[in-house]
Amino acid sequence: MDVLVFLIPVSVGLGALGLVAFFWTMKSAQYDDPQGDAARILRDDYDDNPKPD
């Protein structure tokens, strides 16, 4: 049972990490345009490594 001493803080910590990530997404307005974001993902305008023509 000693392993719980590590596992519980780890699980709570991971959860807290998720919560922080959620706060960040909300602060950076990522829920403002869900439909637009779903459509934008299909566009190649923001491609980091575009194929050479």
Partner 1 sequence: MSVSDHPSAAACPGCIALPDIARRVEKTRSEHAFDVQISLPSIHCASCISGVERGLMQLDSVEDVRVNLTRKRATVRVAPGTEPDTIVHHLERLGFEAQPLDNATLTAGESDKQARDLMMRFGVAGFSSMNVMLLSVAIWAGATDATRDMFHWLSAAIALPTIAFSAQPFFKSGFAALRAARLNMDVPISLAILLAAGMSLFETINSGEHAYFDAALSLTFFLLAGRFLDQKMRSTARSAAAELAALEAPTALRVVDGDTHTVKVTDVSVGDILLVRPGARIPVDGDVIQGASEMDRAFLTGETDPVAVAIGAQVRAGEVNLTGPLHIRTSAVGPDTLLHGLADLVSVAEEAKSRYNSLADRAAQIYAPAVHLLALIGFVVWMYLTAGDVRTSLNIAVALLIITCPCALGLAVPAVSTVASGGLFKRGLLVKHATALERLAEIDEVVFDKTGTLTRGTPTLTNPQDLPDHAFALAAALALGSNHPRSKAIAKAAEGFDLPDVQVTDIVEHPGLGVEAKFQGQTVRLGRAEWVTGQGDSSTCLGIDGQDTVQFTFEDTLRPGAAELLQHLRDRNIPVMLLSGDAENPVAQLAQDLNIPTWQSGVLPSEKAAVLEAKRAAGKRVLMVGDGLNDTAALAVAHVSIAPASALEATRVAADLVLVSPDLSRIQDSLRIAKSARKRILENFGVAAVYNSIAIPIAFVGLATPLTAAIAMSTSSILVSLNALRTR
Provide the mask over 24-53, with x wherever binding to partner 1 is found by CB under 8 A and - wherever it is not: --x----xxxxxx--xx-xx-x--------
Angle, vertex CA 29, rays to CA 24 and CA 33, nearest 5:
135
Is residue 10 close enough to count as binding partner 1 by CB under 8 A?
no
DSSP 2-36: TTHHHHHHHHHHHHHHHHHHHHHHHHTTTTS-HHH
Is residue 22 close enough to count as binding partner 1 by CB under 8 A?
yes
Residues that bind partner 1 (CB under 8 A): 1, 8, 11-12, 15-16, 18-19, 22-23, 26, 31-36, 39-40, 42-43, 45
